[in-house]
C-alpha cells in the first residue's frame, strides 16, 4: 500500500502490504471538529469512478470497486449520523439498512450516537417498495425526505409503513439546503451521501457539499455509464482542494474539500 497524503494527515502503510486498520481509517476520514470557525453540519459524498469517468458498470457500482474501497465505504458509514441517498439508487442497488460495526461501537457510543447511521431516502414520487428490509427492519429507523406537494395518498402509505416522512421542499421535490437543515434539526450533523449521480449533482449545484471522497478505479469501461454527478451544470465550476490521497493496488482514494 502506498500513501501519498497531500495537505493533511494520511494513513501510513507501514512495512509490507498490511491492511489498514479501522482505527487508522477512522482517523484519516474523521469529520472536522465542530467549534469556532468550524462548519456544522458537514456533508460529504463517497463515490467511485473509473479512469474514463464511469460511476457504474451495467448499472452497479460494485464491479468497479475493490475490497479496500468497500472497507472505506464501511468506515465512512461508521463515522456518519445519516446516509443520504436517492430513491433511484435505492431501487437499482438494492439498498439495505446500515448495520452496526463492532469496530465503531465505542467511538459512536462515546459521541452519543446510535449503533448505526440512519438511511435518509430522497424521493419526490415516494414510489418505493416499503416491504424491503430498508423500511421493515432497520437497526435505526429509515427516513424519507420529500416535498410538501407530495401526493397525500403516497405520504399516507409511507407513514402506514412506519417510515418517518421529513418535508424538505415546498414543491414535489426536495430542496438540498433545506434537506441538510432538516437532518441537522433531527440531530444528524455528520452527513454522508452515496448518490446517486442525480442527487449528488443537485447537492453540488446547491452549494451544500463540503467534501468529496472519490475512489478512482484503475479500470476502463467505455459505454454510456453515468458520471458521479448528473443534472444541469453549475453556473461557475466549484473549486475543491485536495486533502489526502491514498493508493492501493492501483486504486486511488482521494479526499477533496471545498475551498
Task: Name the band, by pLDDT with cuts 50, 70 and 90, for residue 36.
Answer: low
CA angle 99, 116, 119 (to 5 degrees): 85
Q: Write phi, then psi, for 170 (nearest 5 degrees).
A: -85, -25
Q: Which pLDDT does position 117 carry in this prediction? A: 92
What pLDDT shows up at residue 235?
82
Residue with the larger pLDDT of the pair 99 and 6: 99
The 10s digit of each residue's pLDDT in 58-70 is: 878 889 999 999 9
Taking only the tens place, the pLDDT of each residue in 64-111 is: 999 999 999 999 999 999 999 999 989 888 888 888 887 787 778 777
Which pLDDT score is estimated for 3? Answer: 45
Helix/strand/coil (H, E, C) string of the chain?
CEECCCCCCCCCCCCCCCCCCHHHHHHHCCCCCCCCCCCCCEEEEEEEEECCCCCCECCECHHHCCHHHHHHHHHHHHHCCEEEEEHHHHHHHCCCCCCCCHHHHHHHHHCCCCCCCEEEEECCCCCCCCCCHHHHCCCCCCEEEECCCCCHHHHHHHHHCCCEEEECCCCCCCCHHHHHHHHHHCCCCEEEECCCHHHHHHHHHCCCCCEEEEEEECCCCCCCCCCCCCCCCCCCCCCEEEEEEEEECCEEEEEEEEC
Calculated CA dihedral for residues 44, 233, 52, 70, nearest 10 degrees: 20
Give the domain ranges of the chain: 22-29+39-253
Average pLDDT over residues 26-45: 82
Check whether 7 has a pLDDT greater than 50.
no
In CATH terms, 22-29+39-253 corresponds, of 3.90.1150.10, 3.40.430.10, 3.30.390.50, 1.10.10.10, to: 3.40.430.10
| Structure confidence at residue 184 (pLDDT) | 95
- For residue 38, the tally of other CB atoms under 10 A from its CB is 10
pLDDT given for residue 10 in this prediction: 43
Q: What is the CA radius of gyration of the chain?
A: 18
**How does pLDDT run across 143-190, given as a tens digit for each residue?**
999 999 999 999 999 999 889 999 999 999 999 999 999 999 999 999
Asked whether residue 8 carries a pLDDT value surpassing 50, the answer given is no
Task: Work out the average pLDDT over 113-137.
Answer: 91
pLDDT at 1 over 50: no
Give the model's pLDDT for residue 120.
96
pTM for the whole structure? 0.88
pLDDT at 149: 95
Whether 114 shows a pLDDT value over 90: the answer reads: no
pLDDT at 95: 85
Model pLDDT for residues 218-251, shown as the tens digit of each residue:
999 988 888 999 988 888 888 999 999 999 999 9
Greatest CA separation for the chain:
60
Q: How far apart are CA 209 and CA 202, in angstroms?
A: 10
- The larger pLDDT score, comparing residue 87 to residue 9, is at 87
Distances (CA, A) of 11 to 5, 30, 257: 8, 12, 18
Check residue 19 and give its pLDDT.
Answer: 76
Amino acid at each position: 500500500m502506498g500513501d501519498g497524503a497531500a495537505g493533511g494527515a494520511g494513513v501510513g502503510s507501514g512495512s509490507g502490504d498490511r491492511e489498514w486498520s479501522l482505527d487508522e481509517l477512522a482517523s484519516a476520514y474523521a469529520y472536522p471538529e465542530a467549534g469556532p470557525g468550524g462548519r456544522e453540519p458537514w456533508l460529504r459524498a463517497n463515490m467511485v469512478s473509473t479512469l474514463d469517468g464511469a460511476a457504474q458498470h451495467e448499472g452497479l457500482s460494485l464491479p468497479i470497486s475493490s475490497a479496500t474501497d468497500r472497507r472505506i465505504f464501511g468506515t465512512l458509514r461508521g463515522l456518519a449520523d445519516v446516509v443520504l441517498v436517492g430513491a433511484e439508487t435505492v431501487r437499482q442497488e438494492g439498498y439495505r439498512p446500515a448495520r452496526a460495526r463492532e469496530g465503531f461501537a465505542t467511538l459512536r457510543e462515546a459521541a452519543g450516537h446510535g449503533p448505526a447511521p440512519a438511511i435518509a431516502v430522497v424521493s419526490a414520487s415516494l414510489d418505493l417498495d416499503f416491504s424491503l428490509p430498508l423500511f421493515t427492519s432497520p437497526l435505526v429507523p429509515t427516513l424519507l425526505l420529500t416535498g410538501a406537494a407530495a401526493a397525500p395518498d403516497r405520504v399516507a402509505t409511507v407513514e402506514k409503513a412506519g417510515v418517518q416522512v421529513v418535508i424538505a421542499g415546498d414543491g414535489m421535490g426536495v430542496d438540498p439546503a433545506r434537506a441538510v437543515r432538516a437532518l441537522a434539526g433531527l440531530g444528524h450533523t455528520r452527513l454522508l451521501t452515496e448518490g446517486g449521480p442525480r442527487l449528488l449533482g443537485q447537492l453540488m449545484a446547491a452549494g451544500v457539499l463540503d467534501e468529496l471522497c472519490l475512489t478512482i478505479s484503475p479500470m476502463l469501461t467505455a459505454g454510456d455509464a453515468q458520471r458521479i454527478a448528473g443534472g444541469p451544470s453549475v453556473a461557475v465550476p466549484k473549486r475543491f482542494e485536495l486533502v489526502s490521497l491514498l493508493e492501493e493496488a492501483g486504486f486511488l482514494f482521494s479526499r477533496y474539500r471545498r475551498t
